[in-house]
Structure 1
Amino acid sequence: MSTVDTSTSPGAGSGVRAGEARRTPGLVPVAETLETTERHARPETPTPPVPSARERWAFWRLLGSELGLTFRRPRNLAMLAVIACVPVIIGVTLRIVGGQGGMGGIIADVAGNSLMLTFFALSFLVLLMMPVAVTVVAGDSVAGEAGAGTLRYLLAAPAGRTRLLLVKYLNAAIYAYAVTAVVALSALLTGLVLFPAGPVTLLSGTTITMAEGLLRILIAVGYVGAGMAALAAIGLALSTFTEVSIGAIAGTIVLVIVCQVLRAIPELDSITPYLLPTWFTNFDAVLRAPVDFGALREGLVAFGAYIALFGSIAWARFSGKDITS
């Protein structure tokens, strides 16, 4: 019986296309291996887009434009002018009263040194007049745009809601520091004109040099500005809930007044530490020797908590808000 060579039989070659290489059992052609690898390869993780230089500068251009509008608006300039006049009036009044003699307490302290007028003016204005000025800008930040019908156009730009909200808050916070600086500078110049300059006697009875006194004024300005920035966060949050800016402004001012009333009730002392105005006057820690940095730190923590809380409320409201105007 003869053995048939299937490799040369016509039937074996009929199933093989012309030019096709024979496969060796157990091996896979290289071309098929590459195709299989490409077919089953894991998709590459997309790389997050890196903001271009144009996008990075867009934020600062938007902030600069917002600051320009704020500090060119006659209403805001008028508030700064009025606030700058108050320390002058206080200084002239204390000069007249102090010249009559027989006065003690804060009047004697202010009349005895020019730098003390700055601390007195901050203590006098930080409880109402300065909050009113800051609230007007913060409360008008979003509600004013919605009421004027320009908010939709701002959101049409590729800025994004979060970026726009951050710009609005930074604008209000910078204005808050401007208000604080105007009060301090006006009081300082008025004090230098009306009262003698020299070593400063602190509340603890310690005397410091004038240069150290100026440094403590700078610390007080930074602290009070942070408090006004925390108030700006409240005004911004209320501004996202309405399209009428006067409603957000009035609501924030009423909140400040209510807190002041609650602080005056002895039976409610337990809630006093949770009220924002409680921490406004803690800058008097710089009038002690040494400076009570613990009191300043507690106040700054309270301001930071208010900024985080009401900033989150503003973001949650504004990011999901249906803008119709």
Structure 2
Amino acid sequence: MMKAFQYDGATIGVKEIPVPEPAAGQVLIAVEAAGLCHSDCTIVNGKGAWVSKTPITLGHEVAGTIVKISPEITDFDIGDRVAIALVSHPLENANWSTTVGLGYDGGYAEFTLAYREHLVKIPTGVSFAQAAVATDSISTAYHAVVAEARVTSSTVVGIIGLGGLGLNGVTIAALSGAQVYGFDINDKKFPDASKSGAIQCFSRLSDASHIKFDVLIDFAGVGSTTTDAISSVKVGGTVVLVGLGAAEMTVSTHTLVTRGVRLYGSIGASLEELHSVLNLIDTRKITPLLEEIPFSTVREGLERLDRNAAIGRLFTCPRRETKPESNSA
């Protein structure tokens, strides 16, 4: 038996459940680190949106060590350090039923399964915690900045929402040589955004009306942030929506059409993009801001995310219950 945080369709809580056995094409992973994602808040608050079954163990940012392996898998071995990729792209081929923490029991547990096609070996210079958050928090930001927003050295870009995802967006945009500005209602996040490469940070888009933005990337997605972005980006500019803070929003078709704004939704990343992100971490071009929380406090950690009270990315180590410390490794 093992401990796992399961969502039952109404609440999330810790339960004792059997350790799963790998079927054909699967491995069993001892979970060494699991990142906490605001999407899990959306699942809990949205009465099960996204997940394919209940009860389900949540946690889709997962890294660990292979402890069992089905015999037909020959390119991985017991003891390998691996991350579980979400593989959201090409989007038309995405299979959510094989996605950890959404299609089947995930990483808020001592052990979880992974399908061979989702496995990525972790480079030597990347920690389990870094690899876990790389699967979503960093690779999702990478895809939004590079593939959807197409940020380059000549781009003036605003990053809305400076949580774990947004801070990674700032870093990646700055690595591209862009002029990067940050936005968040919590000004305690400004120093870390500045360290990540933001030229200046603001509480509201209206405070930066003197700046001509080519691109605004909304990692908050609370409705008003997106509509404000559509009004604030330059004529003919691009708005990329990543955050799922609001289930719905109202957009002025007049503003969208007459200003010629391109509005894109962005989710996840490809396997190749995850490899690129892991290489950036391995070469120290990206060092994600992380905070470890005890496994017993996963529910409280998600509540912190929901209140916009977390700085950087929260993660937990389900196989230990020692008092953790904040760190960037």
Pairwise TM-score range, normalised by the shorter structure? under 0.3
Bigger CA radius of gyration: 1
Q: TM-score, normalised by structure 1?
A: 0.23
Higher relative contact order (CA closer than 8 Å, sequence separation 6+): 1
Between Structure 1 and Structure 2, the one with more strand by share is 2
Between Structure 1 and Structure 2, the one with more helix by share is 1
Q: TM-score, normalised by structure 2?
A: 0.23
